[in-house]
Structure 1
Amino acid sequence: MGPIWPSYYASCRCLLFMMDAANPTQLSASCVQLLGLLSAEALAEASVLILFNKIDLPCYMTVEEMKSLMRLPDIIASARQSVSTVEISARRGTGLAAVLRWLQDTHRADG
């Protein structure tokens, strides 16, 4: 799906980027995709929310582990966008209220 993403950037004000917290082998590939999105000129003004999904599984990595492995503090410090994170379980609905609050707050701030 990544190759077609740029065709959707023009009117994007918010970006939700989901990462699989239960699949450490995908972490580096996800990080590369995220860096590509953050460097896209058309997304320079978009607010970004990184969703660490599958926290309901016993084998999930904590946000601290993921942030450390992908050097997320460095990525956030160099990003032009506002970047936030939240842990979720899409299956159980955990954290989804925080996602909706973020969307609402971001939309209100852009208004």
Structure 2
Amino acid sequence: MILFGYCDTGKIIFRKYIATIFILKIHTWKMCLCLGPPGSGKTLLLKRLQNQEAIDITSNPTPTVGVNLAKVRLSEEPFVEISIKEVGGAMAPIWKNYYVGTREIIYVVDTSNLCQIAAAGTMLYGILADDYLKSARILLVITKMDVSYRQMRNEALLMLQMNRLKKEIGREITVLEASAMSGEGAAEIIEWLRGKKKAKTNENKVA
């Protein structure tokens, strides 16, 4: 009886092991960092990427203090889900503590806040120059396009000193416009997260 009980237990454990391997093969998780100055719209953007239609646009946004983790579904078959770790802008001095093992970074800049853009450029330079992130893919998301003029996009890129970054760092940066309020750019960001080389309409690359 003990022998048969042991065999039955062994079969159950083996089946659970096979089931776990099968699940891990189907469900793929990736990790990404979402960074940017305080109040740039990181949290709201991640909520939009999670397809949260009922986004409260009436309440005053509260800057993230600490770290938020958002899971964004990239595809159904095969099931692919990415974990995006948002690190508050106030924590910029210790962002580097989260760089190890990071392969993708979403960097968010608010185009409606010109006073913030220059500082955002300095932070971005530090990210691109870090040795731990030399092989990481970089997505620059220009947010709040619904409250700023379209020409602000080019002014923002100028203030971010993209040409200097191009010459000194020699990295490819994908630039996308987005609005968490309207949902503009969300589909293109998902495409980028899927690893697509070409996103749709509003993508520009600075190489």
Pairwise CA distance, 1:52: 0.3
Map of 2:50 onto structure 1: none
Report what 1:66 is aligned to. Answer: 156
Structure whose CA Rg is larger: 2
- Quick one: which of 4, 7, 10 aligns to 2:100? 10
Q: What secondary structure sits across from 1:17 in the alignment? A: strand
Which residue of the other structure, out of 132, 136, 139, is the alignment partner of 1:46?
Answer: 136
Alignment of 1:92 onto 2:182: yes
Tell me the alpha carbon deviations over residues 17-71 of structure 1, each in whole angstroms, 9 at most, x when there is no partner: 0000100000111011101101111001101000000001045752211112222
1:9 Cα deviation (Å)?
Answer: 0.6
Which blocks of at least 5 consecutive residues in structure 1 are unaligned?
107-111
* Residue 92 of structure 1: how far off its partner (Å): 1.8
Question: What TM-score do the two structures reach when normalised by structure 1?
Answer: 0.85
Structure with greater proportional helix content: 1
Larger RCO: 1 or 2 (CA < 8 Å, sep 6+): 1
Question: When the two structures are aligned, how many residues end up with a matched partner?
Answer: 107
Letter in 2 for 1:5: W
Range with greater deviation from structure 2 (79-88 or 52-61)? 52-61
Equivalence for 2:127: 37
TM-score by length of 2: 0.48
Higher strand share: 2
SS at match of 1:63: helix
Structure 2 residue ranges without an equivalent (≥5): 1-90, 197-207
What SS class does the counterpart of residue 105 from structure 2 fall into?
strand
Q: Which residue type is aligned with residue 142 of structure 2? A: F
Shift of 1:81: 3.5
| Structure-2 separation of matches of 1:56 and 1:2 | 26
- What one-letter code is carried by the residue in structure 2 that aligns with 1:15? I
> Does the aligned pair in 1 maintain the 2:111–2:148 contact within 8 Å?
no
Q: What RMSD, in angstroms, separates the aligned Cα atoms of the two structures?
A: 1.9
User: Contact 1:38 / 1:80 at 8 angstroms: preserved in 2?
Assistant: no
Paired letter, 1:93: G
> Does the aligned pair in 2 maintain the 1:12–1:46 contact within 8 Å?
yes
